[in-house]
Structure 1
Amino acid sequence: MRAAQAGDAQAYRSLLSALRPWLLSYFRRRLHGSEGEDLVQMTLLSLHEKRHTYNPDAPFMPWIAAVARHKLIDYVRKTGRHVHVELNEELGLADGMQPDLAARDVAVLLAQLPKDQARVISLHKLQDMSVDEVSRATGKSPSAVKVIVHRGLKKLQALVGVSKREAADE
């Protein structure tokens, strides 16, 4: 994506080709029939229209996964269908995204937060520790842990380009 933003047409074509199977898998797991193909096209079009909003310093997969998720939500709203969309989905891990890439993207994002905030989020969200366990491990009150996690997640959403309105829609 970085090369595509810099004007490399071949890199952009490669990106679109590489994303297509991942997007198709993502949508097929959530919908039945040929609807997945339509959503792939809508997502790729949205990527094309919004590519200027991608921050090249941020990981790409969380950004494109958010775009795909929003396209799915928009589609479901328009058609009146009901599908199950996890609030805390593993961004693409079951859809063929390599775990080492996901771990790298998470590390890059967490590195952009203050160390204490990144540690609390890592303990609570990545290591599945309860608020009380994180409180004991860090010496912070449970209320402080909740506030740190909430504010840190808001910062992470901003880093991957999720607006306040989009976050509220979810």
Structure 2
Amino acid sequence: MSTPKDAVCSEAASDPWGVWMARAQRGDKQAYHTLLQAVEPYLRAIARRMLGHEDVDDAVQEILLVVHGIRHTYQPGRPFKPWLSTIATRRCVDLLRRRQREGARMGEAVDAETFADAGPEPADVVARVQREVRIRRAVDGLSPGQRDAVHLLHLQELSPREAEHQGRQSAGALKVASHRALKALRRALQGEQDDAT
């Protein structure tokens, strides 16, 4: 008959990362440091597979920041690697989307420079930048819960159930916060537009 100590040894052998994370959640800084060092090569492999050799260091750092921010959501006793893999994959997808958006913006900027006179920036580029600044200001004015909901549901494009596991709110609370955030953003952006006219 196995003792509780045998069960702990068996669990540590089968999922050491999960054991280290559980210890880290209880405040063991050494276990957390060991975990972060152990998972880095795994995260590099995921980032390299999804992003190529470009942006691997940035991707690993961003994944580790996300893990640090949501480490409380890991449930001890559950397999750690799938939890980590999901976070890493989503972050890499976000980075790919950002890369595509930046590539599209660069293409637009090159097109604008190619076809524009040697004068000031085209009005549509200036208008786009001003709009982005207004949106950022409006998002910064939201409550923390509403900002989280916008970030998880709209920027990361997670479902409410997925967002619930990464955030600090239930799926229902996230939906309500998102709805209120969008209303507040509409009001704020409409108010700025009215002031500008």
TM-score category, normalised to shorter length = 0.3 to 0.5
TM-score of the superposition, structure 2-length normalised?
A: 0.41
Q: Relative to total residues, which structure has the larger helix share, 1 or 2?
A: 2
